[in-house]
Structure 1
């Protein structure tokens, strides 16, 4: 019982110092790891090596993948490729179903681009579609927000799912992508159906601020990028890595569908996540135009490094915390308790949802939860490759529930949509709860058949 109380105190401490006192999650997780090591009576000689080995090993395993994925996202954002993709999707889907259009655009753009950045980029487009169709800005705000959120928490190469996959030992990212894409689609559609309730609901919007991005028209936004890329080159940096990773996963199936010759070796190599993302980065770099494209490329790579650095460190710190827990007697206690409950996938989902709701950050929630759950996978019936992949998705589903005042994304959406805070609580927060619950329900059904 004491060991469980120590765990509760450590998690509560992480939430308190990050949410109330705004301490860096990196320091909070490393501090929890160090305090936990002493509290669980890990031999003093082993404490530092336990923490540093997990920290360095995680950076080695996942660091380059997160870094290259972030670089692709930044280039797509700055080159106008995200707008080009949105333009093409509007031509295909049209504006007859504005919420569906916003959901699909968000779903695709957020695979490499952070949901916060994606919303800022696409907000002028959302406004244009809203005005053109005469529907409520509240409905399109919810649809775009949840479309972006779905793939942000469930589909690599977004850093959150990558970090959770690393902590939970999922090496087959192709399997994770293949399951994550349809799960994210179901979650986004569930939230879209909720958004449809507000298609014609009048809302008293807040007055626009002087620097509000909504003061810019969609045409002005497009013009600011100059000549936009064509649709195919814009989509290629996303599609290439996904197809290569999934192709390599298929090639490595025990039955070896393409044999074990040269073709297998080539596909296995280019489908390695790091190599696949390097190829995607080269495709993204080809989007840059003009005489100053080398300068622009270097500048955007520097920005990507600054963006990815905190994520890398949070991920590594979370792994250190998880390593301390794995080395403690807590795992035997929890394993014996949870194995008899038969709740399996609900464990990572509920822990992630509690952490997300308490401290606001989806990434911190995913990193912390996956570190906590990793040593327990076998005990809760998720020790197989498929079980670990579904556990990653369950963590991602929980990390959607619930976005509210302590989540920066909540404020990005409500501010740019000029949605009053009280209305945002009743709609945006509820939409993320529905989305995360729908995602988990889908994961649970899949688990029922494959576990």
Structure 2
């Protein structure tokens, strides 16, 4: 089969996957399986080998990350049920204050809280972010919204145990310890610099509350509706035929969102969680879930931190050449995450009792189903792409030079994300396409994984569920969300690859 035929077959398969997901709203798991099947049939694999390759790719990636995903999601579900996220945000507010909260909260979401399913994490943390935005000042809403978007999306593909990160590591055969360490080195400056850039832009007029915040828009409309009849009755605002001028209003700090968009009002936001005291949201309570007598915040997160530390120790021991059987066993990611899960279970039982822990575990299993399937079929696509011969062709377009291949990896992932609209799917698909090429590039696979991760962040837009959740939960208009989500995460994508290029010189 000619090179042109292989390239054309792969392009048709990828475009077909995108069309199924975006145009016909077919579930991404089904779309990826159908795309893998079509690609196999268009290449010399044939009927028998296509099915065999899809099945093998599915099983191979599940063998590497299946248990890790399950353990991570279950830990996140228990932490969610304990109210640990609310307590963490409140503590960050106490330590760093409102002005620095966008930085600290974005870092916490991007690193520590990635075991929690993204949509759940967003729903839990958004009310806290919105109440804190009132204390930050006129630019509180855009700063908190941008910080949340950056932390959420960067964590998915750059930080263990983010779902996209685990999939990238498995597809590109990157040791999870190395992915954790280098991902941490990259994600921290990426988040801090990106949040700083967005804060600078907002302060220079990039945000207009009159058009970008739902509360301000509704307030302005209400003001016009009440002003016009009064003007016509009193005869002081000109003739009845004159159109009212659209008033200029100041940024709505402390303004209340209209019904349907205000997430926090009163004291109850989530079941059993008191976030606000009083009427203005100025007082935060650190005893989320009403468990004032339970273990401290550090105790809640200690099992997860221990698990990540065990994985990191393994990576460091590999780097310095100090390996032994005991250390290798302890630092194994599956064993480390299992220890973390057991520790979280124990803490959960102390705090909530066995019944609520079992409820959390049931919720965790429901959340992990599609995550596992999506990750696995990404492995199927990668296996078919490799078996179809695309890797041999792409090697001719990549050089052993460090910078150009990483930029091309970033561009491939960015283009896929613009088309598909999902950070996780675009990262997995890009890794599947690039996996066959990785050995010939002369670059450490962790760099390719991180480049694909940063590229998949570019241009989060209206096809993303995160986009619409951020819009509704933080009281933004679509225009405002394009600034705080699409622009902010795209800035993080560019910052990430610009930081990665000089970082690659260390390898």
Normalised to the residue count of structure 1, the TM-score between the two structures is: 0.91
Deviations 1:271-326 (A, max 9, x none): 21111111111222233257962222222212111211112111111111111111
Matched, 1:407 2:464: yes
| Correspondent of 2:51 among 48, 51, 56 | 48
User: Residues 21 and 27 of structure 2 are in contact (CA less than 8 Å); yes or no, is this contact kept in structure 1?
Assistant: yes
| Correspondent of 1:319 among 353, 375, 379 | 379
For residue 163 of structure 2, what is the aligned residue in structure 1? 159
User: Residues 82 and 234 of structure 1 are in contact (CA less than 8 Å); yes or no, is this contact kept in structure 2?
Assistant: no
Note the aligned Cα RMSD (angstroms).
Answer: 2.3
For residue 290 of structure 2, what is the aligned residue in structure 1? 226
User: What is the Cα deviation at residue 412 of structure 1?
Assistant: 1.0
User: Residues 124 and 217 of structure 1 are in contact (CA less than 8 Å); yes or no, is this contact kept in structure 2?
Assistant: no
| Correspondent of 2:214 among 206, 213, 236 | 206
User: Residues 172 and 445 of structure 2 are in contact (CA less than 8 Å); yes or no, is this contact kept in structure 1?
Assistant: yes
User: Residues 50 and 324 of structure 1 are in contact (CA less than 8 Å); yes or no, is this contact kept in structure 2?
Assistant: yes
User: Is the deviation greater in 151-160 or in 290-299?
Assistant: 290-299
Matched, 1:345 2:409: no
| Correspondent of 1:422 among 479, 489, 501 | 479
User: Residues 307 and 340 of structure 2 are in contact (CA less than 8 Å); yes or no, is this contact kept in structure 1?
Assistant: yes
Deviations 1:10-50 (A, max 9, x none): 11111110112111222111111111112112144322222
Matched, 1:134 2:195: no
Tell me, in whole angstroms, the C-alpha distance in 1 between the residues paired with 2:158 and 2:98.
27
Matched, 1:249 2:309: no
Deviations 1:45-81 (A, max 9, x none): 3222222112112212211011101111111122111
Aligned residues: 439
User: What is the Cα deviation at residue 110 of structure 1?
Assistant: 3.3
User: Is the deviation greater in 363-372 or in 194-203?
Assistant: 194-203
For residue 39 of structure 1, what is the aligned residue in structure 2? 42
Tell me, in whole angstroms, the C-alpha distance in 1 between the residues paired with 2:267 and 2:303.
24
Counterpart secondary structure, 1:406: coil
| Correspondent of 2:102 among 93, 99, 120 | 99
1:31–1:53 Cα change, 3 Å: same
For residue 144 of structure 1, what is the aligned residue in structure 2? 148
For residue 168 of structure 1, what is the aligned residue in structure 2? 172
Tell me, in whole angstroms, the C-alpha distance in 2 between the residues paired with 1:242 and 1:109.
10
Normalised to the residue count of structure 2, the TM-score between the two structures is: 0.81
User: Residues 172 and 431 of structure 2 are in contact (CA less than 8 Å); yes or no, is this contact kept in structure 1?
Assistant: yes
User: Is the deviation greater in 277-286 or in 245-254?
Assistant: 245-254
1:237–1:340 Cα change, 3 Å: closer
Tell me, in whole angstroms, the C-alpha distance in 1 between the residues paired with 2:266 and 2:303.
27
Alignment of structure 1 residues 223-302 onto 2, 5 Å: 223=274, 225-227=289-291, 229-253=295-319, 255-256=321-322, 264-289=324-349, 293-302=353-362
Tell me, in whole angstroms, the C-alpha distance in 2 between the residues paired with 1:291 and 1:423.
39
Counterpart secondary structure, 1:345: helix
Tell me, in whole angstroms, the C-alpha distance in 1 between the residues paired with 2:190 and 2:397.
31
Tell me, in whole angstroms, the C-alpha distance in 1 between the residues paired with 2:46 and 2:259.
58
For residue 388 of structure 2, what is the aligned residue in structure 1? 328
1:190–1:115 Cα change, 3 Å: farther
Deviations 1:123-151 (A, max 9, x none): 22212222223232112211222123222
Name structure 2 gaps, 5 residues minimum.
Answer: 216-256, 275-287
Tell me, in whole angstroms, the C-alpha distance in 1 between the residues paired with 2:82 and 2:461.
31
